[in-house]
Copies of this chain bind each other. A is one copy, B any other.
Amino acid sequence: MRKALEATELQAALQRLSEWRVVEGKLAREFRFRDFADAFAFMSACALRIHALDHHPEWSNVYSSVRVQLVTHDAGGITARDAELAGVMEEIAARFPRG
């Protein structure tokens, strides 16, 4: 079963995920790449992991920027799976040159 993280668990997750913030109850981050090709290559790499995890982000792309928001609606908050997906995205983004 999925339960929203307790405040202390969320703090611990945010310490590992130093670029992420909680915005309106969602785990949020903007990634900036060099150009559209890199931004979409990042999204493609994430998509395979997302599909395998069966846990999906709310994400948007404008040219070289990708904004991500993670929340588990069933649990009414941010769960361990959101933190896990954030970690996966962070690892993938780290491969790309910064924009």
Interface, chain A (partner B; CB < 8 A) = 36-38, 40-41, 43-45, 47-52, 56-63, 92, 95-96
Which of A38, A43, A47, A92 has most chain B Cβ within 10 Å? A47
Q: A50 CA to B49 CA in the complex, in Å?
A: 12
Query: Which of B44, B47, B56, B95 contacts A96, CB < 8 Å?
Result: B95
A48 & B37 in contact (Cβ 8 Å cutoff): yes
Query: Which of B40, B58, B61, B96 contacts A48, CB < 8 Å?
Result: B40
Q: Contacts A45-B37, A48-B51, A51-B37 given; indicate if A58 touches B60 (C-beta within 8 A).
A: yes
A43 & B45 in contact (Cβ 8 Å cutoff): no
Cβ contacts A to B, 22 pairs, < 8 Å: A36-B47, A36-B50, A36-B51, A36-B56, A37-B45, A37-B49, A37-B51, A38-B45, A40-B43, A40-B47, A40-B51, A41-B44, A43-B43, A44-B44, A44-B45, A51-B52, A52-B52, A56-B62, A57-B61, A59-B60, A60-B61, A95-B96
